[in-house]
Every structure is written in structure tokens, then in C-alpha cells.
Amino acid sequence: MAHYVINGGKRLEGVVTISGAKNAALAIIPATILAGESCLLENLPSIDDVRTLECILTRMGATVAFTPDGSMRVDPRGIRDYNVTFDMVRSLRASYYLLGALLGRYGYAKIALPGGCMIGQRPIDQHIKGMRALGATVTVENGMVTARADKLVGAEIYLDVVTVGATINIMLAAVGATGQTIINNAAKEPHVVDVANFLNMMGASVKGAGTDVIRVMGGRTLHGCSYAIIPDQIEAGTYMVLAAATGGDVVINNVIPTHLEAISAKLMEAGVKVIEGDDGREFFMRVTAEQIRPRPVNIKTLPYPGFPTDLQQPMMALLSVADGNSYIVENIFEERYNHVPELRRMGANIEINGRMATIDGVPKLSAAPLYASDLRAGAALIVAALMAEGESQVHNIGFIDRGYEYLEQKLRAIGADIRRVE
């Protein structure tokens, strides 16, 4: 398998442009199934997860084509197969959105339980609770979830945990239900809002996305549309951490600054300079690290607008060289510390006690061969390898390819010494 060879210790400087949001794209592509016509999706990231969804939709009978600028046109009218097998979804968490979209459109779906990063139990009980509340019969057998309904009817649903996946999935199914659905204790992440905006662009009525209560008036006939996906909050945050970690000065273009408030606040607390700007065409962030070692900071991962769990791992790599003790509490996923043994092999001093990590900052990390265990662990190892002087190799980069568009090219353009070895 391919790996990265990284010569760290170099200051990153220059401009990087953020791609479309992975987690929005992975919901919006399945949501096209709800349309009665073709949809054009712009600002899609060119990442493996998008290509996997393209293959799945094509195998189901949809027509999927890319325009020269990388936009994706999806025409769902040819879909005849509502079954999605495990070999199609083994690497993809977001395959569960096919359940809500197919159920909403055709009243039937049979989907293999989703794959994706191993960062905790990741049950889908809230998705199932929501579909059942809408009147679907849902069974889980032999690793497959089957949902069927002669008629979906809107309902009031209270989510027991704040979950992005279930919030979006219930929205998708509710668009196909008759009458009003109310989702209480909904997730408020930027991609939840983006999916709602896309559904509304197709003619749906989804109100309240971005708050705790989402109201969907279902049963409308949806039409095709063109839609541009929001910039990726997590990719932007990763480059912000990278700028800080290399004592760099990086302008990060194509961002929505409010989506980055939690990471900006923590970087500023760590002594990093973060400036928001608007060049007249788009917003940007400029991140400049003026001191060699960051100040220690404490982080609790929380649903949006709290600190995102997806940036906990890259941030821990940065804090491993902080001038003092930092504490991280991972509240979202119980096993999201698989990057820690790798950081320790680079000299980091990190103790894990349940959901709490104590990071006793060391002056510097040393280069090492590293193995990514999941997507954001991979991002953390890239941060660590770019900080450490000498040559590191980052293996298992298939995980990173799932979620970061042109990582190597973007990093090289801002001065990183990174090459991919096939």
C-alpha cells in the first residue's frame, strides 16, 4: 500500500484552498435519490469516499457523470436496485444515508451495516428509532438493515443523543413522509444545515436546521437543482493546526469562519495568531505561530458548536509539544485515541485514562515510521511528522485518501517536504 515519506521540521508558509465538505457531500450525494430529476453538485471534494458513493449509485442504476470542473451530475431515475451490499460499503460510514434516502423515495431499502473508521461502537439505534417513528418496519439481520413502509407518515422524534448521522438520515426519510416531522435534540453541525439547504433547493420544506429542532413538511414532489457544497470545516481546521504546529504562516482560503470558531479559540489560547479576513470574493483565515512551543490548553470534544471530535486527534499532535500539561476529554467517540501509541513512539508523553488524555508536552518529537488507524488519526500523524525533524513514513494512507483532497499537493505548495510512494 502507498505511504507518505515526510521530512519534517520545515515552516509551512503560503496559501491553501479548502475543498468541499466531505461530510456534507457524503449526505448530499445519497440525497439526490429523492429528486425526480438530475442534480448537479458543485464544489465536491475529490476523495475516495465520494468515488465509493459514485460506484454505489451507479451499481444501483443511477447515471453519474463528472463535468470537467469536477462537479457531479446524478440522475437517480434509473435506480432499480435498492440493496447495498457489504462489499460496497465496507470503508464507508456514510452509507447509512442511502437507507433514509431510499426509504423516503421508494419505501424500501436493504443496506449492509456501515463500515468506516473504528473509533468506537457507533450504533445506529437512533436512525432506526427515527425510521420506525415514521412508520417503517426496520429489521437488522445478518449484518443488513432492512427498512420498508407502504406509507411514511410524519412524526415527532426525540433523539436520545445528539447525532449528526441520525439527524440527517431522519430528515431524508421525512422528506418522503406525508405531513410534518419534528426532530428534537437535532445535531447542529454545518453539514446538517447544508443538507437541509440542498433538500430545500430541490423543493422540500425543511426548517430549523442549525437549531435543536428541525421541522420537515414532507410529501412534496422534488425536482433537480444545482447546488454548491460548503467548504470543509475539518480540512480547514487541520491546516490551521498544521500552520500552528510548524511555526508557520498560512492563509487558508475558502472557509466559513463561524464554522471554525472552536478551533480558532483553542489555537489562540495556545498562543497562535488567528485572523479572519474577507478578500472580497471569499473568507479566509490566516494562522501565524509566533512562538516555538504552544501553550498547553484543555479541550472537551462536543457536538457543534463545541470543539469537533474530528480535530481532537490533529490537535493532540500539536499539544504533544506544548510547554506544559494539556488535558483532552473525548466525549463523542469512546475509542478515538488510536493515534496515541504512534505519537508516543515519536517521544510524546501521553497518558490515557478512559475518555481523558493527559498530554505532558515534550520539547520536540522525533521522526519515526507511523501507522494510521483511521482518517483523522492519519491527519494527526501528518501533523506530527511535519513537526518532527528527520524522515518519517506514514503508512495506511488509504484512510487519509478517504477524506483529504490533494493533501500532498496542497502541503507541498506551502513548503512541506512530503512525497507519496506507491
Q: How far apart are CA 144 and CA 155, in angstroms?
A: 25
Task: Please tell me whether residue 81 binds ligand UD1 under the rule CB under 6 A.
Answer: no
CB of 234 to ligand UD1, least distance (A): 7
Burial class (CB in 10 A: 0-12, 13-18, 19+), 280: exposed
Q: How far apart are CA 134 and CA 103, in angstroms?
A: 10
Task: Please tell me whether residue 188 binds ligand UD1 under the rule CB under 6 A.
Answer: no
Q: Which of residues 118-147 bind ligand UD1 (CB under 6 A)?
A: 120-127
CB of 404 to ligand UD1, least distance (A): 13
Task: Please tell me whether residue 310 binds ligand UD1 under the rule CB under 6 A.
Answer: yes
What's phi and psi for 238, nearest 5 deg? -65, -45
Q: Which is nearer to ligand UD1, 124 or 346 (CB)?
A: 124
- Kind and range of the H or E run holding 309: none
CB of 221 to ligand UD1, least distance (A): 28
Task: Please tell me whether residue 307 binds ligand UD1 under the rule CB under 6 A.
Answer: no
Assess whether 39 carries a catalytic annotation: no
Task: Please tell me whether residue 218 binds ligand UD1 under the rule CB under 6 A.
Answer: no
Size of the site for ligand UD1 (CB under 6 A): 23
Q: Which is nearer to ligand UD1, 187 or 230 (CB)?
A: 187
Using the rule CB under 6 A, give the single segment among 195-203, 239-247, 248-256, 303-311 that binds ligand UD1.
303-311
Q: How far apart are CA 187 and CA 227, in angstroms?
A: 22
- Helices 261-269 and 233-245, axial angle in degrees (round to 10): 10
Three-state DSSP at 153 gives strand
Task: Please tell me whether residue 332 binds ligand UD1 under the rule CB under 6 A.
Answer: yes
For the chain, give me the number of helices (H) and strands (E)? Answer: 14, 24
Q: Which is nearer to ligand UD1, 174 or 367 (CB)?
A: 174
Task: Please tell me whether residue 104 binds ligand UD1 under the rule CB under 6 A.
Answer: no
**Could you tell me the CA-to-CA distances from 134 to 34, 153, 154, 193, 204 in Å, in that order?**
16, 5, 6, 21, 17
Task: Please tell me whether residue 72 binds ligand UD1 under the rule CB under 6 A.
Answer: no
What residue has cell string 465496507? 90
Helix intervals (H) in 270-339:
312-319
The dihedral over CA atoms of 133, 135, 141, 146, expressed in degrees to the nearest 10, equals: -120
Task: Please tell me whether residue 94 binds ligand UD1 under the rule CB under 6 A.
Answer: yes
As beta bridge partners, residue 156 has 182
Task: Please tell me whether residue 101 binds ligand UD1 under the rule CB under 6 A.
Answer: no
Strands 72-75 and 63-66: antiparallel
Strands 13-17 and 249-253: parallel
Q: Which of residues 21-60 bind ligand UD1 (CB under 6 A)?
A: 23, 26
Contact flags string 148-187 toward ligand UD1, x per CB under 6 A: -------------x-xxxx--------------------x
Q: Which is nearer to ligand UD1, 23 or 38 (CB)?
A: 23
Task: Please tell me whether residue 354 binds ligand UD1 under the rule CB under 6 A.
Answer: no
Task: Please tell me whether residue 190 binds ligand UD1 under the rule CB under 6 A.
Answer: no
Q: Of 170, 181, 169, 190, whose CA–CA distance to 234 is shortest?
A: 190
Task: Please tell me whether residue 369 binds ligand UD1 under the rule CB under 6 A.
Answer: no
What residue has cell string 508558509? 13
Q: Which is nearer to ligand UD1, 163 or 254 (CB)?
A: 163
Residue ranges in contact with ligand UD1 by CB under 6 A = 23, 26, 93-94, 120-127, 161, 163-166, 187, 308-310, 332-333
Hey, which residues are catalytic here? 117
